[in-house]
Each structure stands twice: as structure tokens, then as C-alpha cells.
């Protein structure tokens, strides 16, 4: 099969890495890709937000199957465009991707599906939102409705912070994404990510993970896209996972199908767990990044068969073969991230690192120039290892990090602490 993966991050590097291990893969192209992906697959400069351009590329390159990595092309309807042109696609329609693209939509679906989540109110009017925060004491969570690259959420621990957050959203700090605002009850507990594949009807769990959203050790400092992850997440026990499936995920999928927008692709449920009860924090319509890297490290070649089956509505025939293993990934980022950072610093020492079924450095924001790898993004590398225990995987991953010579980069030193 000729396969096209859309995206350019560590997530897409790991998707490409797992896909290449599958004998069904004859040719793999990643668009636009990055310097690490270019070492294992062809990369193509392509505007992945332009459905017509992606269709033309698929026609001229005899592509049989397209895997869409990030949320933006999903929300823009690139999966719909491709399906309309007769291509097989892994990724939800724009209508179904509203589960990520609109927080108000998701809250309303959860109400209809009776899925446990934080109590909320939805506002399009600044004064009404201000009146609501005046009447409801902090802590409150203030969210821009639309896609805001993971930055549209403010946790207000005081009434003053809540009022300021509402002002910031309506004053346009998050652009159009903040024209509508959702205000939620603050949920206590421990967060974990649950990943399932859906084919419109069948739901198949493929793994759990825990991300590290804050930039600093001990979960301090500002929020980021994620500074490291591990899988499985022990806080999501089998019993809690079963509850999440029966009370949250399956009812949501049934409600989506009932509304004529069946969900097909990977659904990433962010859960808050307190006293054995999961509640939904958010849905994403894609794999998490860096959670995908640890899932791919554990699933290997079967990940491709599972995605392929989801896109052909064959999930009821599929099983996931889990090893008794653990994977952990450490994000190396440019100093200054998630604020401003320099681009173009040189990363050395990558050639000496092992690359096999247990050790892999996935690239995110890297570029190759004159035979060197340079950092061109905020999150730059995902140093990933698999082991018989989480402690093994972690030791191995930090050993690899310590072999990388990149003075302009940094990482957290405590990835996995909650589970260890």
C-alpha cells in the first residue's frame, strides 16, 4: 500500500516509524515532515490545510491511504475532501472533529449522552460571563471555545483571576477562538489520557498514557504542549477504564452516530480521576503529542493495521496485542519554550544513539542543513525508550538524553514521577 501521513511533529515521526514496520507498507510519504522523518521516509512539501492540493498529491502519487496527524486539517475538513474524492482516510470528518474544535459542542454532547464532566456555562456575551463569575466563586476554569493550540484554557484560582480571564478572552487574546467562552467547574483529581479507535460504531481501546503539561519539574511553570509522557498510566486502572468506556466514550460515540456524524479515527479522552471515578476534561480528535510516541513505541507494526481497520469499519474484527511493557518519552525543547526561543542552534550526538524497537529519538521541530540537525521549533526532540518496567524505560531514556549535545536545549528531569 502507498501511504501518506500528514503532519510534521514527533507524533507523525512515531506514526511513520510504526507504519514502516508493517509489511503492508510499500511506500510512505510524510507531508511536510521534518529532519528526523526524512531519515526514514520521503517528505513532500504540501499545504496540508488545502484539501484540493492534498487530493491532487494523492492522485499523482498513487496514494491508497491517508493518515491525518494534527487537528487543524481535520477541523478544516481535509478528511471529508479526501473521502469525497474516493480516498481511504484515518481521521474524523470536520463535523465529528468538533469534539475537539468546539468545547461548547462537546459539553452539549456530554449532556445528551449523560457523560460525567465538569458543570459549565456557555457565553457569547462579555457582560453575562462577567456576571456569572461574580456569582460563582473561584476556582473556575475559563476556556476559549475554539482551537487555540492548547493555550485557550485559564485556571482561575481567585475571583480576580476569573474576572481577568473573562476580560482577556472577550478582548480577543485568543482571536476568534475566544469569541465564545465556556466557564467550568474546577475538577480536582489526577489526569490521564485514554486512547480509543472508533470506526463509527465499534470502540477499541488502544492504550493509556500520562502527559506532563507544565514546563518545569514538579509540575511547575506555564502550560506547554506536553513535556513528556509514559504508557501505561497506572492511575487508569482496568476498572476505571471500563467506567470511562461505558459512561463517557461509548455514549458519546453513540450520540455522534445518532446525530449523523459518526466518529472515525482516534479519540483521545482527557480524563480527571478522583476517588475511582473518571470525568471528562476534554476530547481531542487526534493522537496526543507526545502521548502518541509512547503508544507507537508499544504497539509497533500493529498500529498500522488498527488504523487501517478503523478507516475500513472493521474494528469489531480487531484485537490489540499488548506486551507487558512500558514506554516513556522525554521532550527536549529549546530554552525559553513555551515563551520565545532562538531557532537554528545545532544539535550533536544524535548519530550515536540507538534506534531499534526499544529506543528511538523522534524529531519534532528539527531541520537538516549542511549535514547538521538544527532546532527550528519549541519542542524539538522526543527521546523515547521501552522497558520491562517504567523505571527501566525512564533510566534508558535519560541515558540517551545525556548523550545529546545541545546546550540550547532543556528537558524536565522528572518525567514519570507520578507513577514511580
Interface with ligand AMP (CB under 6 A), residue from 25, 41, 118, 245: 118
Cell numbers for 272, please give them: 480527571
How many residues line the site for ligand AMP (CB under 6 A)? Answer: 14
How near is the Cβ of 233 to ligand AMP at its closest, in Å? 14
Site for ligand AMP in 246-275 (CB under 6 A): 270
Q: Is 70 in the site for ligand GLY (CB under 6 A)?
A: no
How near is the Cβ of 343 to ligand AMP at its closest, in Å? 26
Q: With contact defined as beta carbons under 8 Å apart, do 118 and 186 qualify?
A: yes
Helix 159-170 and helix 126-135: axis angle, to 10°?
170
Interface with ligand GLY (CB under 6 A), residue from 12, 80, 145, 289: 289
**Per CB under 6 A, which region of 59-67, 91-99, 183-191, 373-381 contacts ligand AMP?**
183-191
Angle formed at CA 69 by CA 68 and CA 73, multiple of 5 degrees: 65
Binding mask of the shown chain, residues 105 to 144, with x at each position contacting ligand GLY by CB under 6 A: ----------------------------------------
Question: Comparing C-alpha atoms, which of 415, 299, 204, 318 is closest to residue 14?
Answer: 299
Question: Comparing C-alpha atoms, which of 54, 101, 44 is closest to residue 81?
Answer: 54
Q: Is 141 in the site for ligand AMP (CB under 6 A)?
A: yes
Q: With contact defined as beta carbons under 8 Å apart, do 362 and 382 qualify?
A: yes
Q: Compute the distance between CA of residue 279 and CA of residue 262 in angstroms, rounded to an integer.
A: 22
Q: Is 150 in the site for ligand GLY (CB under 6 A)?
A: yes
Site for ligand GLY in 188-227 (CB under 6 A): 211, 225-226
Contacts with ligand AMP, residue ranges (CB under 6 A): 118, 141, 143, 153, 155, 184-187, 191, 213, 270, 281-282
Contacts with ligand GLY, residue ranges (CB under 6 A): 150, 211, 225-226, 284, 288-289, 291
Amino acid at each position: 500500500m502507498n501511504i501518506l501521513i500528514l503532519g510534521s511533529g514527533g507524533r507523525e515521526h512515531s506514526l511513520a516509524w510504526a507504519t514502516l514496520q508493517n509489511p503492508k507498507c510499500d511506500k510512505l510519504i510524510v507531508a511536510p515532515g521534518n529532519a528526523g522523518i526524512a531519515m526514514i521516509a520521503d517528505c513532500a512539501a504540501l499545504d496540508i490545510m488545502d484539501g484540493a492540493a492534498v487530493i491532487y498529491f494523492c492522485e499523482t502519487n498513487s496514494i491508497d491511504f491517508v493518515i491525518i496527524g494534527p487537528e487543524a486539517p481535520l477541523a478544516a475538513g481535509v478528511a471529508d475532501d479526501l473521502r469525497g474524492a474516493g480516498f481511504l482516510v484515518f481521521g474524523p470528518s470536520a463535523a465529528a472533529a468538533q469534539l475537539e474544535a468546539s468545547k461548547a459542542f462537546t459539553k452539549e454532547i456530554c449532556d445528551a449522552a449523560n457523560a460525567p464532566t465538569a458543570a459549565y456555562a456557555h457565553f457569547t456575551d462579555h457582560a453575562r460571563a462577567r456576571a456569572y463569575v461574580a456569582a460563582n466563586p473561584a476556582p473556575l476554569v475559563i476556556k476559549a471555545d475554539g482551537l487555540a493550540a492548547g493555550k485557550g484554557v485559564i485556571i482561575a484560582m481567585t475571583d480576580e483571576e476569573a474576572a481577568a480571564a473573562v476580560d482577556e478572552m472577550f478582548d480577543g487574546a485568543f482571536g476568534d477562538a475566544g469569541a465564545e467562552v465556556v466557564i467550568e467547574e474546577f475538577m480536582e483529581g489526577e489526569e490521564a489520557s485514554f486512547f480509543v479507535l472508533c470506526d463509527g460504531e465499534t470502540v477499541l481501546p488502544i492504550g493509556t498514557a500520562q502527559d506532563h503539561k507544565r514546563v518545569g519539574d514538579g509540575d511547575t511553570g506555564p502550560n506547554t504542549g506536553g513535556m513528556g509522557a509514559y504508557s501505561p498510566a497506572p492511575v487508569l486502572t482496568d476498572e476505571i477504564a471500563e467506567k470511562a468506556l461505558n459512561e463517557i466514550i461509548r455514549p458519546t460515540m453513540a450520540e455522534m452516530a445518532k446525530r449523523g456524524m459518526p466518529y472515525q479515527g482516534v479519540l483521545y479522552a482527557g480524563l480527571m480521576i478522583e476517588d475511582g471515578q473518571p470525568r471528562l476534561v476534554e476530547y481531542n480528535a487526534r493522537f496526543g503529542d507526545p502521548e502518541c510516541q509512547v503508544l507507537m513505541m508499544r504497539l509497533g507494526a500493529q498500529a498500522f493495521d488498527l488504523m487501517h481497520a478503523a478507516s475500513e469499519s472493521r474494528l469489531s474484527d480487531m484485537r490489540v496485542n499488548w506486551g507487558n511493557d512500558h514506554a516513556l518519552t522525554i521532550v527536549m525543547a529549546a530554552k525559553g519554550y513555551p515563551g520565545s526561543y532562538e531557532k537554528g542552534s545545532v544539535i550533536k550526538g544524535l548519530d550515536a544513539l540507538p534506534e531499534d524497537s526499544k529506543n528511538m529519538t523522534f524529531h519534532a521541530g528539527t531541520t537538516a542543513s549542511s549535514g547538521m540537525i538544527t532546532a527550528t521549533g519549541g519542542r524539538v526532540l522526543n527521546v523515547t525508550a521501552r522497558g520491562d518496567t517504567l523505571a527501566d524505560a525512564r533510566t534508558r531514556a535519560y541515558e540517551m538524553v545525556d548523550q545529546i549535545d545541545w546546550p540550547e536545549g532543556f528537558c524536565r528531569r522528572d518525567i514519570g514521577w507520578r507513577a514511580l
